[in-house]
Structures are given as structure tokens and as C-alpha cells.
Amino acid sequence: MTRFSVGDVTDVVQGFGSPDLTLQASSSLVWRTSTYKDDRTVAIQCDKAAATINRTLVQKLKSPSALLQVVIVVFVPSI
């Protein structure tokens, strides 16, 4: 689960991890609705795409002074 917040506006994206995720990219991160993986991929099979992110949050991000808070919560299944 990832929570994106700008000020008082928040959106949540649910997705899955994978042992294949390297998080090696230094300039961008991607949450994907597909199972495609590359160095930018943070999560796969997400329940939202860019077009479905809260539009108020997107508008707030257009401000040069906007601060985006990203909280990633990882649930590890017990074996």
C-alpha cells in the first residue's frame, strides 16, 4: 500500500512487490497496473493508474512549492 499526500489531499494505491524489483533508478519511480518490471518499478498489479489518481492531488502537485509525502507500507505474509 502506498499513500500519496500533498497537504490535506491523499490518495492510496494498492499493489504488489516482487523479488525481481531492484529500485535502481535514480530519477523516477513507477507504480504499475501491469506485471512489467524494470529498474523504476516500485509495485506491480496496482489498482490505480496515473489517470485515476485523485485529480485534486495532481493539481496541487503542479505548484512549485508542493511537497509530496509518500508512505509505502509493506505487508509480509507469514509462512
Superfamily grouping for domain 2-72: mth639 domain like (2.60.120.630)
Its pTM stands at 0.89
Residue 70's pLDDT is 97
pLDDT in tens, 17-66: 999 999 999 999 999 999 999 999 999 999 999 999 999 999 999 999 99
Amino acid letter, residue 63: S
